[in-house]
Structure 1
Amino acid sequence: MNVQQVIFRDQIVDETAAPFVADRSSFPQRLAAVVSAAAADAEDVDRAARFPRKAIDAARTERLLGVQVPKVFGGDGASIFDITDMCYALGRACSSTAMIFAMHQTKVACLVRHGTGSAYHEALMRRVASEQMLLASSTTEGQNGGNIRFSSAAVERAGTEISLVRNATVISYGAQADGIVTIARRANDAAGSDQVLLAITKDDYTLERSVEWETLGMRGTCSAGFELKFKGSSEQIFPEGYDKIHAQTMTPVAHLCWSSAWAGIAAAAVERAQAFIRKAARGAGGHMPPGAAHFNAAKMTLAKLRAIITANLDAYAAHEHDERALSSLDFQSSINLLKVEASELAVETVMSAMRACGLAGYRNDGDFSVGRLLRDVLSSPIMINNDRILSNIASASLMSAVPASLRD
């Protein structure tokens, strides 16, 4: 891919917020080095189901793991537009690298938005920027599947010391991360939905593998299951409740970054389909091959996918610091539907690209193979299952129609 095609948007910023404003001039060049490393290693990462270490090391070298941290804490102050552009470019190169980067940046976003003012979390931001720490996420637990608004494991307290034992059935790149951002019940007597968010580093916890990772796609994310045991300080708990963090940052940033990564995968498939159609047409004296119509369909669904992401990015950016707007039913429904729509459109796009390529796309050993891209993108509808999201949106919408005075 031509990395220069990635557009980093200009934004109007308040000069009084100068420490938080990104200097984007270096982003394309720094990103290009990571994309190159990711693309060169993508096939072997998938084949061996191994962590994309070369790509993540390149991200460290180019200081992209801490790019979102505000300048005042040693980062670049990158915006959500910058981060999603990077996810898209990485998705075109290596699906697993893109998803790891997207998940890491979601955790960093939680630190930036909800950790400022907390001495511990500000110090961790500085470490992410200076040491280029890789942060993993632990939200899936036990038999809860993708229901991240309910926790079984609770924080145990002994004065200012706390501990946590968590049956984490999935921690993507958990064994390779330098720290984990995880949720838990506030206390033993708290309801499952009364949750806190903790930021912990690998010197505070141990991981004992409980579930292996042998999957159809996204194999390089190394999303094994672990028993997580942590001992640390109460200052590692975010000062704000998880319900607020979930609505304002965790969900919107995750869905925007994931969707951008999936769009990148879809774009890579469309590029291969285009290359195949051109080669086939040249070989047939200018006559279009039978799959040309599917190529047009792939282009249209990719355009729709990118338009949906752009619309949601603009909506989030417009209300990024408006807590009431971010917590509204309209915004929450829209940002959750983004995940559903983006994942379905990404799968549709890659399927159309494969049909455009025909047998050449179905093969695993040619220049036009779409197999890895299809296997990777098929993870998108089941990564927090779309049916669960749609059910939750329907329940919330039904509840909102009932007057508050009649709900009890």
Structure 2
Amino acid sequence: MAMITDNTLRNAAPTAPVSFRRDSVPLSQRVAQVAAIAAADADSVDKQSRFPRAAIDAAKAHGLLGAQIPVEFGGEGATIHDVTEMCYALGRACASTAMIVAMHQTKVACLVRHGRGGDWHEQLMRRIAAEQMLLASSTTEGNNGGNIRASAAAIEVTDAGVSLLRNATVISYGAEADGVMTIARRASEAAASDQVLVVFTSDDYTLTPTQGWETLGMRGTCSAGFELKASGLAAQVFAEPYERIHAQTMTPVAHLSWSSAWAGIAAASVERAQGFIRKAARGAGGQMPPGAAHYTSAKMSLSKLRALISANLDAYAAHEYDERGLGSLEFQSAINLLKVEASDLAVATVMSAMRACGLSGYRNDGDFTIGRHLRDVLSAPLMINNDRILANIATANLMSAVPASLRD
């Protein structure tokens, strides 16, 4: 973990390497085991607004954090389908755990795709596979309101390497991470959109707390604000410009992973609603309760959400290494709209599930409570605000032709 410079907080000892060896246990089974631990701890994580330590430790012990690393560097070569299934399963168990894993896997995807060929980045891949290091993300700073395609802080080049001082208004699980991946202007004289991606390990930086994390939901992500002060080697800066990394990997993987986590939350709420309706129907001699129609609506919304994610997942997998395809207006519009539509559908699904359960869903106690799920999923449209995304792609969409047939 990074050093915390606030006098009231001190960093714990660095995370011990995890001795993990791939065996005959499929990744899906290991994910299920981690999800069970996350589910058992989810209410406590939410109530105490604390990092889901047990779940993330289990994820490390079962090799989830390094699963995406290529086999040649000690990982399993997990695919984007594996990653999204992981996020969905964890979302059903604990939203905070799912979102932490989704953000980590997005950073790892950037490293895997754009770090090959660089000795330092390849060595980091080996460390992630061997030690199951947890990577945090720092993309929001100052007053930019989540506009990650414009940076205020700039990388400073010195004789010793590079340094960065960044007012990071949000670094999710920053105090718990083993490293952080962040964006910055290429140089002090560079334009805000001329950005680079750089990764620092915990011994490269200090974090000074500037803002807490007292929120309605997603409380366990511990997304506090920090002043990030880092220094490292020039080799830690990715050679490719961030513009390409953003379009080819950062945005697609983030939106697919986040959407899968939100779909998991929605699925958990539908499952609770199903249990409530079944119990109510049994108690009424088979007669459907008033909330049955809302359950049907929730089930249909969930089906739409899963289909939406699957379609975009297949589109990304088909073009994963096709730079022209990934950069096309059609793909970029679709992958950005995925975030908007998936977040709205997830909220609608959970809301319908709560209405199906009525007061039993509204209560914070009992077997059918959906309060935590609703509070967590309400973050979805606000995380990189949907209005910002829609405004950004409006002009581009005006240039795109309206399909003339169903097959276009």
TM-score (norm 2): 0.92
Residue 347 (structure 1) aligns with: 347
1:395 aligns with 2:407: no
Residue 239 (structure 1) aligns with: 239
Residue 6 (structure 1) aligns with: none
Residue 158 (structure 1) aligns with: 158
Unpaired runs of at least 5, structure 2 = 1-21, 402-408
Instruction: Check 1:284–1:400 CA distance in 2 against 1; reply closer, same or farther (3 A cut).
Output: closer
Q: Map residues 101-116 of structure 1 onto 2, 5 A cutoff.
A: 101-116=101-116
State the secondary structure of the residue aligned to 1:203: helix
Preserved CA contact (<8 Å) 1:199 1:236: yes
State the secondary structure of the residue aligned to 1:147: coil
CA distance in 1, matches of 2:316, 2:59: 26
CA distance in 2, matches of 1:397, 1:333: 7
More deviation, 392-401/330-339:
392-401
CA distance in 1, matches of 2:128, 2:37: 21
Residue 256 (structure 2) aligns with: 256
Residue 202 (structure 2) aligns with: 202
After superposing on structure 2, the runs of 4+ consecutive aligned residues of structure 1 that deviate more than 2 Å are: 22-25, 395-401
Residue 296 (structure 1) aligns with: 296
Residue 280 (structure 1) aligns with: 280
Preserved CA contact (<8 Å) 1:333 1:393: yes
TM-superposed deviation, 1:28: 2.1
Instruction: Check 1:110–1:295 CA distance in 2 against 1; reply closer, same or farther (3 A cut).
Output: same
TM-superposed deviation, 1:239: 1.0
CA distance in 1, matches of 2:24, 2:225: 37
Equivalent residue letter for 1:68: Q
CA distance in 1, matches of 2:100, 2:168: 17
Q: Map residues 157-236 of structure 1 onto 2, 5 A cutoff.
A: 157-159=157-159, 161-236=161-236
TM-superposed deviation, 1:31: 1.1
Alpha-carbon displacement from aligned partner over 1:169-191 (angstroms, at most 9, x marks no partner): 00000000000000000001100
1:267 aligns with 2:267: yes
Equivalent residue letter for 1:386: N
Residue 48 (structure 1) aligns with: 48
Equivalent residue letter for 2:341: E
Q: Map residues 32-181 of structure 1 onto 2, 5 A cutoff.
A: 32-159=32-159, 161-181=161-181
Equivalent residue letter for 1:45: V
TM-superposed deviation, 1:395: 2.4
CA RMSD of aligned residues (A): 1.3
TM-superposed deviation, 1:23: 9.2
Equivalent residue letter for 2:256: L
Preserved CA contact (<8 Å) 1:23 1:76: no
TM-superposed deviation, 1:33: 1.5
CA distance in 2, matches of 1:55, 1:317: 28
TM-superposed deviation, 1:159: 3.1
CA distance in 2, matches of 1:107, 1:386: 22
Alpha-carbon displacement from aligned partner over 1:121-173 (angstroms, at most 9, x marks no partner): 00000000000000000000100011000000001111351110000000000
CA distance in 2, matches of 1:387, 1:24: 46
Preserved CA contact (<8 Å) 1:266 1:346: yes
TM-superposed deviation, 1:221: 0.1
TM-superposed deviation, 1:396: 2.5
State the secondary structure of the residue aligned to 1:226: strand
